[in-house]
Amino acid sequence: MSERTPDRSGVRATQRPPRACIYCSSRKIRCDKVLPCSTCRARGQAETCRVETVRVKGRILSTDSEDGAQPSYTDLLEQTKKLKTLLWQQQAASTPPSARDGGRGPPPGSCYRMNTVEEFEKQLYRSIRSSYRYTTVHTTSEILFPSAQCARLLLRYGMQWMWIHSAVDQATFDREVTTFLDKCRIIEPVQAAEPAWLALYFAYLTCTLLMMTDEEKVRVGLPYTDANTVLGNWYDATEYFLNKAQFMRVVDIRNVQTIAILKECCPHFADFNRFYHLLACAVRTSQVLELSNDNAHPDETAHETQVRRRLWWSLIIGDWLTFQLGPACIQGDFFVEMPTDMDDRRLEPSYEEIASLTHRPIQWFIAMSRIACALYRFHSSLPFEHEDRRLLLDNIQQADEELANLISTLPPHLQADEAETSITVERDKLLPWIPWQRRSITVMLFYFRMVIHRTLLKYDCGDVISKKRAVTICQDSAHGIMSTILGPQGVVFRQNVW
């Protein structure tokens, strides 16, 4: 019997079952072989997308067959409904029946956790994410490359602030920049390095420029008189070279480093869409490179371990602290210890002037990591909306105690109530990153304490005393944020990154 000859039942016999749907097969067009296929979905006929019923070696195979045919669109919808029901059952099982509303659960598909995002915040983020800035760089001729002297000055200035992103090994990056500038004496800059490195280079310059005062920007000799124009140009140049490096396809740690730096710059440009998508991409690329697994690097040196951990936790800080956008990574996705609280001179021996034995930039980074973990645990442990709202009180109390414990263990120079003496004033002048760290972490703690306690008010749970306490904490935190930023030591321009 030939492949085209049907049997008495009218079912065609063939040696191989078809994989393309009937519509695509009859019109001899390409089918993606996933039911419903993209062609049928595009023409609005997803429910009719089926594979032809055939007889193979005496057995009749159809779309609905359990022996190897693919499920129909209706089958997939039914499977999705069943999986949602199973998911709710597993999540509900983690809470004692006595803690639920009479032991009754919600209908399948309605198991949503309580959240801390207010409606005005949702509207704000929707508004910001619905608009975007147009890039100023489309070709390399539009990029404002800094002179060698300007680049070296920016690199030296950036040494004081690289702990904000902790994306690069400063000594290694310094050597790479020197090699690049030497090559630029002979060939064009775009030919002196690969696109992935050039993206990292311009991301570093952009973040450094953000932290500078107007006077400092003038002294470095920027390639254009308007510093804001240069800032936007370098920001867009980073995106240009990232795309040239095909960061969505090519697994390269330099792309991860670039995004780790760029995430500090995106808020300045209100570029939250790029921030959200780039951060998710960097997390996934890091997982492919196994940066997220300490056990996958048995042969790396202690120095390499610290560099890798700092890069990974830089991504986690950016991911978990921007809870309004939703996390790209969950706690079970990685096994990486926090960076060690060591003197930077042991990690970056070339830059002794930015560190001291008692005041280490990495201490701020570790504190930010701990805050990110505390906030993530709070959000992930919030009760489901159908559950007893009294459970929320326990979560708020635990989160508040965790933040209080974190504050009590901060180094003295990061404490908001550190006594001001002639020694601390002189120290802050010598190490300007200390007052910036103290202000930024103080603002962060005020804000997240307000976020935690306003959840109680949002869901109207607790007694009158609990609600009054929550209102007081929210008001005090709001006043604390304003007084910290606009106080006598406030340096607003350096809060742009935060």
Same domain, yes or no: 315 and 242: yes
pTM of the model: 0.73
Let me know if residue 37 belongs to a domain. yes
Same domain, yes or no: 203 and 259: yes
Q: Domain range spanning residue 26?
A: 12-63
Q: Could you give the CA distance from residue 203 to residue 195 in angstroms, rounded to a whole number? A: 12
pLDDT score at 332: 72
- Indicate the residue among 293, 317, 333 that finishes a domain: 333
- Burial class from Cβ neighbours inside 10 Å (0-12, 13-18, 19+) for residue 430 reads exposed
Q: Could you give the CA distance from residue 330 to residue 315 in angstroms, rounded to a whole number? A: 12
Is the separation of the CB atoms in 32 and 20 below 8 Å? no
In a 13 Å sphere around the CA of 132, the CA atoms on its Cβ side amount to: 10
Q: Could you give the CA distance from residue 204 to residue 265 in angstroms, rounded to a whole number? A: 10
Per-residue pLDDT of 436-462, as tens digits, reads: 889 889 988 999 999 888 888 888 777
Same domain, yes or no: 406 and 325: no
Tokens of 399: 């989160």
Same domain, yes or no: 138 and 253: yes
Is the separation of the CB atoms in 349 and 81 below 8 Å? no
Per-residue pLDDT of 292-341, as tens digits, reads: 999 999 899 888 999 999 999 999 998 888 876 677 777 777 889 999 98
Tokens 């909306």 -> residue: 385
Let me know if residue 80 belongs to a domain. no
Is the separation of the CB atoms in 167 and 260 below 8 Å? yes
Same domain, yes or no: 325 and 389: no
Same domain, yes or no: 326 and 392: no
Let me know if residue 347 belongs to a domain. no
Mapped to the 3 state alphabet, what secondary structure does the chain carry?
CCCCCECCCCCEECCCCCCCCHHHHHCCCCCCCCCCCHHHHHCCCHHHCCCCCEEECCEEECCCCCCCCCCCHHHHHHHHHHHHHHHHHHHHHCCCHHHCCCCCCCCCCCCCECCCCCHHHHHHHHHHHCCCCCCCCCCHHHCCCCCHHHHHHHHHHHCCCHHHCCCCCHHHHHHHHHHHHHHHCCCCHHHCCCHHHHHHHHHHHHHHHHCCCHHHHHHHCCCCCCHHHHHHHHHHHHHHHHHHCCCCCCCCHHHHHHHHHHCCCHHHHCCHHHHHHHHHHHHHHHHHCCCCEHHHCCCCCHHHHHHHHHHHHHHHHHHHHCHHHCCCCCHHHCECCCCCCCCHHHHCCCCHHHCCCCCCHHHHHHHHHHHHHHHHHHHHCCCECCCCCHHHHHHHHHHHHHHHHHHHCCCHHHCCCCCCCHHHHHHHHHCCHHHHHHHHHHHHHHHHHHHHHHHHHHCCCCCHHHHHHHHHHHHHHHHHHHHHHHCCCCCHHHHCCC
In this structure, which amino acid lies at residue 497? V
Same domain, yes or no: 328 and 183: yes
- Burial class from Cβ neighbours inside 10 Å (0-12, 13-18, 19+) for residue 118 reads middle
In this structure, which amino acid lies at residue 443? V
Number of domains, the chain? 3
pLDDT score at 112: 59
441's CB contacts (< 8 A; 6+ apart) are 364, 367, 368, 371, 410, 414
Let me know if residue 342 belongs to a domain. no
- Integer-rounded Cα Rg, in Å, for the chain is 28
Let me know if residue 413 belongs to a domain. yes
What count of other Cβ atoms lies within 10 Å of the Cβ of residue 289?
18
Let me know if residue 358 belongs to a domain. no
pLDDT score at 76: 67
Let me know if residue 206 belongs to a domain. yes
Q: Could you give the CA distance from residue 283 to residue 263 in angstroms, rounded to a whole number? A: 12
250's CB contacts (< 8 A; 6+ apart) are 196
Same domain, yes or no: 318 and 385: no
Let me know if residue 69 belongs to a domain. no
In a 13 Å sphere around the CA of 328, the CA atoms on its Cβ side amount to: 19
Tokens 């057995």 -> residue: 59
Tell me which residue of 379, 360, 342 sits closest to 114, measured CA to CA: 379
Same domain, yes or no: 495 and 391: yes
Is the separation of the CB atoms in 255 and 197 below 8 Å? no
Tell me which residue of 170, 42, 79, 97 sits closest to 387, measured CA to CA: 97
Tokens of 143: 């990029």
Same domain, yes or no: 322 and 385: no
Mean pLDDT per block of 10 residues along the chain (498 residues) reads 51 81 87 83 81 78 52 64 61 46 46 68 75 86 95 91 88 94 93 95 95 90 93 95 94 95 88 86 92 90 91 92 76 85 60 56 92 88 73 85 90 88 89 88 90 85 85 90 72 48
